[in-house]
Copies of this chain bind each other. A is one copy, B any other.
Amino acid sequence: MSQRRTTGDAGRATIRDVAERAGVSVASVSRVLSGNYPVSEELRRRVMKVVRDLDYVTNAHARSLAGGGTPTVAILINNITGAAFAHVAKGVEGAATLRGWLSIVGTTGDDPERELTLVNLMRQQGADAVVLLGGAYDYDEYQLRMARFARSLDAAGSHLVLVGRPPLEGDVPATTIDYDNESGAYAMASYLLSAGHRRVLVLPGPAELTTAQGRLRGARRAFEAYGVPFDQGLVRHGPYDDEHGYAAVQAALHETPDFTAVLAGTDIVAAGAMQALRGAGLRVPDDVSITGFDDIPLASQLTPQLTTVHVPYEEMGRVALRAVADRRQGTGGGARRKSGDAEHLVLGTHVVVRDSVRPPKRQR
């Protein structure tokens, strides 16, 4: 006499309950449900009826323990509410769903400690891939830390994907999906320069953030290409938020009021800058031009609509998942990939011209 729970009432139904009630073996039920083994029509019908009656679903933990299981991708993001990375997450999630993968998300809140915790948590969960979103801080420790993550995950049969972060140096088993910050900023700055602007307030973002560094470099290169002196005094670093945009413009209006355009590191920063200009009685773009970066929905909701650099965030997410899915596919085949194959994909950006830029007026 089985001592296990007799009245199968508490908790969820097990495969054994189904088997018992259908008068078949556990193995048969499993086969009917996974459908990877021939089963008679009669048996299938009988089992499926009980499954419906009991509203049975298989226990994913048990299944993945026994070998089967749904592939899972973990998305680690510092802030869900940031529009740009929400789009990446959407891309990953969409592509995952398409392939029958499951997505888990965790938010790091920019806390390196929490990042570590989460990577380990995902390792416990047996995630087949861990996607890390967001600009990385340029600490020396970063490379080591990420390399360790990459190797840990690789050893566990998982894989690290860095999105919107700089690639890792050396032979580290990680995939990087990146976009060209520098070229984007170069193109945007060139656009301003060709419109006739010479004195441009540059708000690249946080000085320690690699994306901000790239955007600043691109801008500077454009000035060089145009033979226009680049005034370091017109560069103001600060966080990627509207408050910084607002404050930076206010300060600049006092200290270096001769600028005719603002090259913002982010659409959000541009929004803040626009507010500050309006507050000072300046019109956009008649008196001052503004450009953004990212091309999030906000850009086209502002008035005037923002001329900005389009970054294919959602596409990046899709690409990220495709990269790991393909890799997984490939691994199953004959030759085992050499473990340390680092992959680095760079996606292009382009300028989206809207209404926030006009040639500078003669005088200010």
Contact = CB atoms under 8 A, between A and B. Distances in A.
A11 interface: yes
Interface stretch (A15-23, A118-126, A189-197, A319-327): A118-126
Given A57-B123, A157-B11, A107 B97 contact: yes
A301 B303 contact: no
Copies in the complex: 2
A298 interface: yes
A65 interface: yes
Contact of A124 (B57, B271, B301): B57
Given A55-B152, A107-B97, A80 B83 contact: no
A104 interface: yes
A106 interface: yes
A344 interface: no
A300 B245 CA distance: 13
Interface string A58-74: 11111111000110000
A60 B126 contact: yes
Contact of A301 (B11, B64, B89, B272): B272
A65 B57 contact: no
Given A93-B107, A104-B104, A107-B93, A59 B65 contact: yes
Given A12-B156, A106-B103, A126 B81 contact: no
Contacts of A346: none
Nearest to A63: B124
A86 interface: yes
A278 B303 contact: yes
Nearest to A84: B81
A81 to B, nearest CB: 5
B301 A271 contact: yes
A316 to B, nearest CB: 14
Given A271-B301, A278-B303, A121 B106 contact: no
Contacts of A207: none
A102 interface: yes
Given A80-B93, A83-B83, A156-B12, A104 B102 contact: yes
Interface of A: 11-12, 55, 57-65, 69-70, 79-81, 83, 86-87, 89-90, 93-94, 97, 102-107, 114, 120-121, 123-126, 152, 155-157, 242, 268, 271-272, 274-275, 278, 297-298, 300-303, 305
